[in-house]
C-alpha cells in the first residue's frame, strides 16, 4: 500500500510569496526545544488530503498546518494527535521520522506482549526515554545500538503480523491549489523534501496482539531471545 497526498490548498496571504512553507505541527522533544529557543517565523500555511486505499480500505485523512495531526506520545505515555480510524482496534497514524514515534510504538507493543525479559526491556526503555528528556522520546536514537538492533529484529515480524506496519507517502499526483507557477514549483520541491522523506503513516492494530496464535507469539518471542542490548545503561539511571 502507498498512501497518496491528493490535494493541497495553499493559504497564501498578500506579501507571502517568497516565504518558506510551514511544516505540520510536531510535538517531539527536538521540536519542543526548537520552539523554546527560536522565535516562530511567519510561513505559508496549507491544508491537504491524504488518500488511503487498498483491497479492503478506502478513506481520506485531512490535515492542515494549524492543527495537531502528527502522532506523538504525551508525557503520560499515551498516543495523542488525530488519527484515521479504521475500526475500534486499528487505525492509521501520520508520523514524523525524526520524532522516533515509530520506535516508541514498536516498544509499546512488544512491552504489552511480554516477549522481552525485564532487564532487556529496561535497557531499551532507557535508550528510548532517557531521564534528561523529561518524558519525551530521545531525539538522537539513531546512534543507539540498543534501539537499532531492536528495530532490525522486530520490524519484520511486527509488519508481517500487521500489528505495526510502515506505509510510505507518494506526492507524485498531488494537485496544488493556490499560488502562481513559481510558488507551485517551490511547493512541489517542499513536498519531495519534507512530506515524502520526513513523514510516513503507520498502520497500528491495538487488539490483534491479544489474539496471536502460539506460532505467531513464538515468532516474536524468538526475536526477544536474539535481542542482546547493552544493559550498562541501566546502571546510569538506577
Q: pLDDT: is 34 or 41 the higher one?
A: 41
pLDDT of 88? 79
Instruction: State the pLDDT confidence band at 30, using cuts at 50, 70 and 90.
Output: low
Per-residue pLDDT tens for 154-208? 999 999 999 999 999 999 889 999 989 999 999 999 999 999 999 999 999 988 8
3 state DSSP class of 21: strand
The rounded distance, in Å, linking the Cα atoms of 174 and 163 is 29
Q: Which three cell numbers stand for residue 91?
A: 487505525
Closest CA to 124 of 95, 103, 96, 100: 103
Q: Is 89 exposed, middle or buried (0-12, 13-18, 19+ CB in 10 A)?
A: middle
Which residues are registered as beta bridge partners of 7?
49, 175
Q: What is the DSSP letter of 44?
A: B
DSSP secondary structure string, 50-92? EEEESSS-EEEEEEETTS--S-EE-TTS-EES--EE-SSSEEE
Antiparallel, parallel or unpaired: β 169-170 and 84-85: unpaired
Closest CA to 56 of 210, 155, 212, 162: 162
Contact 155, 188 (CB under 8 A): no
pLDDT of 209? 82
Per-residue pLDDT tens for 75-90? 777 888 889 999 878 9
- 0.85 exceeded by pTM: yes
Alpha-carbon dihedral sign for residues 21, 48, 57, 104: positive
Q: Averaged over 27-45, what is the pLDDT?
A: 70
CA angle 165, 168, 174 (to 5 degrees): 145
Per-residue pLDDT tens for 88-139? 789 999 999 888 899 999 999 999 999 999 999 999 998 888 776 666 777 7
Amino acid at each position: 500500500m502507498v498512501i497518496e497526498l491528493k490535494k493541497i490548498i495553499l493559504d497564501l496571504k498578500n506579501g507571502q510569496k517568497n516565504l518558506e512553507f510551514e511544516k505540520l505541527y510536531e510535538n517531539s522533544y527536538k521540536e519542543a526545544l526548537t520552539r523554546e529557543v527560536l522565535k516562530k517565523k511567519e510561513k505559508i500555511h496549507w491544508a491537504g488530503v491524504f488518500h488511503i486505499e487498498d483491497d479492503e480500505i478506502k478513506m481520506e485523512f485531512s490535515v492542515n498546518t494549524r492543527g495537531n495531526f502528527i502522532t506523538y506520545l504525551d508525557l503520560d505515555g499515551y498516543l495523542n494527535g488525530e488519527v484515521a480510524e479504521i475500526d475500534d482496534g486499528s487505525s492509521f497514524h501520520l508520523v514524523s521520522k525524526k520524532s522516533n514515534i515509530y520506535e516508541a510504538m514498536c516498544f509499546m507493543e512488544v512491552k504489552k506482549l511480554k516477549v522481552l525479559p525485564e532487564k532487556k526491556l529496561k535497557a531499551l526503555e532507557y535508550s528510548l526515554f532517557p531521564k534528561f528528556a523529561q518524558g519525551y522520546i530521545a531525539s538522537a536514537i539513531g546512534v543507539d545500538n540498543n534501539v537499532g538492533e531492536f528495530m532490525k529484529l522486530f520490524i519484520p515480524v511486527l509488519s508481517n503480523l500487521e500489528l505495526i506496519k510502515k506505509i510510505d507517502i507518494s506526492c507524485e499526483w498531488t494537485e496544488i491549489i493556490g499560488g502562481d507557477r513559481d510558488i507551485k514549483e517551490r511547493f512541489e520541491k517542499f513536498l519531495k523534501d519534507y512530506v515524502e522523506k520526513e513523514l510516513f503513516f503507520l498502520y497500528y492494530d491495538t487488539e490483534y496482539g491479544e489474539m496471536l496464535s502460539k506460532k505467531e507469539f513464538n515468532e516474536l518471542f524468538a526475536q526477544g531471545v536474539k535481542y542482546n542490548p547493552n544493559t550498562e545503561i541501566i546502571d546510569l539511571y538506577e
